[in-house]
Structure 1
Amino acid sequence: MRSNAICHVNWSTGVWDVVILILLTTVSCCEALNCYSCSYSMLEPTPENDDFFCGNETLVLLEKDLTVKPCAPWEKFCITTVETSLKAFSAVVRTCAETCNQICESDGYGTDMVRCDDCCTTDMCNGNYTVRYYLQLMARQYTSWIEPLPGERAYNKANGMKFPY
């Protein structure tokens, strides 16, 4: 003979405590990172598309709802990208990012355009606007020729490559 047992769950206060704890943990783990989000380019032909405040002190003085946005759950970094053209400041972009690349990249033939990224992981950490900050960030573009990247010496040695650091 087959028994039709009915499973009865006793929703006592202990079970509700566990359910509430799980919900609170889930909510707190998924809070979005908040980053400054703007772009400004001195090379932009249509200045009305530029955020004039992105490259200077106005960035941190304006209302946060105008300058800060919540990132998507998979965007774990706030990033500041600074560009130079012929060694002169030309643009800055601040936004959320999924990945972080701390190496400077060069573009353009004959235009000497260099783009350097700076990444961070706390709310509104990409708000630095000082000239000193921009100079320190852009100084990275030359370091790969005078000092090796992490692991570069070992790689070169293992592959019989010589480079005058």
Structure 2
Amino acid sequence: MVRLNLDRILFLLLLFVSTTIYSQKVNLIIFINDEIMTSSIGLEFHNKTSAGKYEYIYSPGREIDISTNDVFKENMILQFDAYSDKKDPTKLYNYKMLLKKELFHDTSFLIIRIYNLDVKKYKKIFCRSKESYVVDFHKSSLYINTSRCK
């Protein structure tokens, strides 16, 4: 009886460890103009070599299983539309950004901070950019900060 229970415990432990090794999930959190996006957003990940695209409905902290899609094996483009301005909630922004594949590896979370440069506060803080927004990335072992004006 004890031997049977020990075998079950070992089997479950082995199953858990193998699932953890082969399935990597990353919590994604998006901030726009220092406000967390709490509404659902349709995100689209794609790259040049994968056959298709990976469509994902964002909600704060929802996990992305990166082991189930080839898109996350190479650098990719993240594209989405969002309403982000409380002063003008009808203004739709279109975001398209390059994500390095390393951003999704060896971490349990990825925070993406977007600052729209048409907002006066952020236009003063961040140096000129050819884009209409700048992006910061933060994960458990890395923080990529956008250059700021001096």
TM range (shorter): 0.3 to 0.5
TM-score, normalised to structure 2, is: 0.34
Q: Which has the higher helix share?
A: 1
Larger-gyration structure (1/2): 1
TM-score, normalised to structure 1, is: 0.32
